[in-house]
A = this chain, B = another copy of it.
Amino acid sequence: MVHRRADVVSRALDVLDRYGLADLTMRRLAAELSVQPSALYHHVPDKQTLLGLVADELLVRGARPLPGVDAPWDERVLATCAGLRESVLAYRDGAELVATVSAFGLGAHAPYDALVDALDTSGLPASLVPTAARTLLHFTYGHAVEEQTHLQAGSAGAIADGPREGSDFLAGLTLVVDGIRLRVGERSLSER
């Protein structure tokens, strides 16, 4: 059976969703493709790179139409973070995968770029835009990883824990970066 890189990546995403990140091994993936483990290295240089590609594929599949560039900046920011959260929660261990890949710079650059793009029209000084974008990603990933950990623990019965409010995501979140208020969800931005 002959495969291409895209087959390997989409099959890997499938394995991730069905068995989890810990079971997404090169050997498991190879077996799933009815191929020897070594054959994977014809399509991908190493596992690290593969995970980056899987994260990007996950994000592409979860992508929804975002507000246009003419929309208010805070709507764009909120839609980007909320969409990101929805995308990573849609796949088993998706939050951990994307957060890891992002931290190591192996992929998942699109959300950062989208945030920078939206923040560029916010009136926030350009020098603070990267910090603000990273702060929003920190919160979004951190929150999503925790949500997913508890959601999955609940369904697997691994951790016995109280129920979880799931709807507080970015609810009225305001970040102030160096004295600049950056409110998400209400479009206010005031200095000092």
Seen from chain A, the residues whose Cβ lies within 8 Å of a Cβ on chain B are: 103-105, 131, 134-135, 137-139, 141-143, 145-146, 149, 159, 161, 165, 168, 171-181, 183
Per the bound structure, the CA–CA distance linking A167 and B190 in Å amounts to 22
Chain B residues in 8 Å Cβ range of A172 = 176-180
Chain B residues in 8 Å Cβ range of A179 = 172
Contact status A105-B139, CB under 8 Å: no
Chain B residues in 8 Å Cβ range of A131 = 165, 168
Chain B residue with Cβ nearest A95: B103
Contact of A142 among B142, B174, B178, B183 (CB under 8 A): B142
Chain B residues in 8 Å Cβ range of A105 = 149, 159, 161
Contact status B174-A178, CB under 8 Å: no
Chain B residue with Cβ nearest A135: B139
Name 10 A/B residue pairs within 8 A (Cβ), A-sorted: A104-B149, A105-B149, A138-B138, A138-B139, A142-B142, A168-B177, A171-B177, A173-B176, A174-B174, A174-B175
Contact of A134 among B137, B146, B171, B174 (CB under 8 A): B146
Chain B residues in 8 Å Cβ range of A137 = 142
Contact status A183-B173, CB under 8 Å: no
Contact status A173-B177, CB under 8 Å: yes
Known A-B contacts A131-B168, A138-B139, A139-B138; the reply to A146 vs B103 at CB < 8 A is yes
Per the bound structure, the CA–CA distance linking A59 and B159 in Å amounts to 24
Contact status A138-B142, CB under 8 Å: yes
Chain B residues in 8 Å Cβ range of A146 = 103, 134, 138
Per the bound structure, the CA–CA distance linking A171 and B138 in Å amounts to 15
Per the bound structure, the CA–CA distance linking A131 and B147 in Å amounts to 12
Chain B residue with Cβ nearest A145: B103
Contact of A183 among B134, B149, B161, B176 (CB under 8 A): B176
Chain B residues in 8 Å Cβ range of A143 = 134-135, 138
